[in-house]
Chain A
Amino acid sequence: MQLTRLNRGVQPALAAATASLLANCGAHAEDEAENAFVDSGLLFYQESDRVRAIEPNLNFNYDFGGGELLSLGFVADSVTGATPLGAVAAPVKQTFIRPISVKSNSSTQTVTSASGGATVVTIPPPPGSPAATIVAASTTVGANRLPLDQGFNDTRYAGTLGWVEPITPDLKLSLGGAYSSEQDYRSLSGNLGLAQDFNAHNTTVSLGVNYENDRSSPIGGTPTPFASMSGSWKNGNRSKDEINALVGLTQVMSRRWLTSFNYSYAWSNGYQTDPYKLVSVVDGTTGLPGDYLYENRPDKRRKQSVFWENRIHLPSDVVDVSMRYYWDDWSLRSFTIEGRYRFVFDGYYAEPLVRWYRQEAASFFRYYLVQSQALPQYASADTRLGNFDATTAGVKFGLQLDKSSELNLRVAYYLQQGDNHPAGAVGQLKNQNLFPDLDAVSVVVGYSFAF
């Protein structure tokens, strides 16, 4: 039973409190109490010709007895490769410039070296300015090629802390916090949750609130929305606050069937634009790019979702099906359905999984802007805000090494397909693939044990 309680994560402290309430009334399957539980995982993620990420994760949980549970987590995330700039392809060479680092000493503008397919250029601050020298990457993209930011490279470190405290045998309080830091972004959050058990531990109602404060400090400064692309100094840091409330209902339907329903509401206010993304401004007849503007998104966003999950224990196998409908006031909508089926064998399991995702674009998503037309209030060519379908297919294998330790391996393939030839494209853009497929392979190796 101790082991069952310890098989909880740090990240969703509210889920931990909910699940531990349900588990408290479980069978006393384990006779030896183990107070500490370690969960580790290593993610390898590789997109075709784009981003590569390596992400080690470690969680440590300690049960102090009486339902008090401490959780600590650590993540390091190293990302390299190429990511789309937002600009459209053209039948001519295109040159883009992006700040990549800052130097404290000033120097004259010179071409110094080449890096990751880009030419590195140093740009001194204006005379009399206290600012430091900026180092920018100038990339030339060949004709009919999707403009990619070739020098993308970042490392993120994040930590989480959680505590679950029983108030009564049926009511648990959870507290948590998270800190994440990368070269140009910092996120700080705290959460508070309550989980109340009813109906002889068959029903749990949970309430949770999370507050997050993010600070964006783009290298070279934050561009002015809709300003033309440049490698020069820009504005200062920007921040964003987000409050997220979550209401959940978890119900044991029978000995074999568990169902859970969540409603989530999030309100964010502040800088939500991607400071590195561009929008091409093209000629209304030829479709050739004449300018590149920094994108501009609204600074407020209200997000809502409903999520429903069912887990059913068949005579030996286990099936899990979950669905989510998401909507927000950027007019972005999505529907997700995910299924897993675990074939259970003696001491090991195999678990195929499938996920399907459909997204309807945000109202301000544009593949490009047209020179002769007035600027809209907001615009982004980031295809993550566009119309697309995404499918994930994979399989996980798990090996029970002993009563409290498990080794597992999961391999999954992700494919994202959008509207690559949208109706109404102008001039040469009719011949360009405006939404190339994105595909990626991920491999996760996990090892967990209790002691």
Chain B
Amino acid sequence: MKHNSANCSTRRASCRCERRAGAALGAAILLALGGCSSIGAKPWERDLMAQKVMQLDAYPLESAMDQHIYFSKEGSSGGRTYAGGGCGCN
């Protein structure tokens, strides 16, 4: 029982720490975006962004195959997209 309480308390501290880390990272990104007026590209500067290689999901089949492999071999999933696996492989 004592062991369980210690575990819970460690876990709560860990959760608080992770929440704070996430909030700090989010705040830093928002501040960086809001505080810098020169970020972004003008409409006539979009030539590179329009290329396939600059799309975040340029190769969705490859991403899906990778996700499937990692989902079936590791304990965590998601991040880039939803965390569900859609298969009974894990």
Contacts and interface: CB of A to CB of B under 8 A. Distances in A.
A189 interface: yes
Contact of A41 (B43, B48, B61, B74): B61
Nearest to B90: A384
Given A8-B60, A363-B7, A318 B43 contact: no
Q: How large is the interface on A (under 10, 10 to 19, 20 to 34, 35 or more residues)?
A: 35 or more
5 contacts: A22-B49, A189-B84, A261-B29, A324-B79, A362-B75
Contacts of A261: 25-26, 29
Contacts of A15: 56-57, 60, 80-81
Contact of A253 (B22, B39, B42): B39
A331 B11 contact: yes
Which secondary structure characterizes the binding site on chain B?
loop
Given A19-B55, A266-B84, A318-B54, 17 more contacts: A8-B55, A11-B63, A19-B57, A43-B65, A187-B84, A210-B84, A254-B41, A256-B48, A260-B56, A263-B22, A305-B78, A308-B25, A327-B18, A332-B75, A332-B76, A390-B73, A444-B62
B74 A45 contact: no
A322 B39 CA distance: 20
A200 to B, nearest CB: 7
Interface in A278-333: 303-309, 311, 313, 318, 322, 324, 326-329, 331-332
A144 B72 CA distance: 26
Contacts of A214: 86, 88
A266 B60 CA distance: 22
A80 B38 CA distance: 54
Contacts of B39: 202, 251-254
Interface in B13-59: 14-15, 18, 22, 25-26, 29, 33, 39-59
Contacts of A363: 7
Contacts of A140: none
A410 B25 CA distance: 34
A178 B82 CA distance: 12
A11 B81 contact: yes
B71 to A, nearest CB: 10
B87 interface: yes
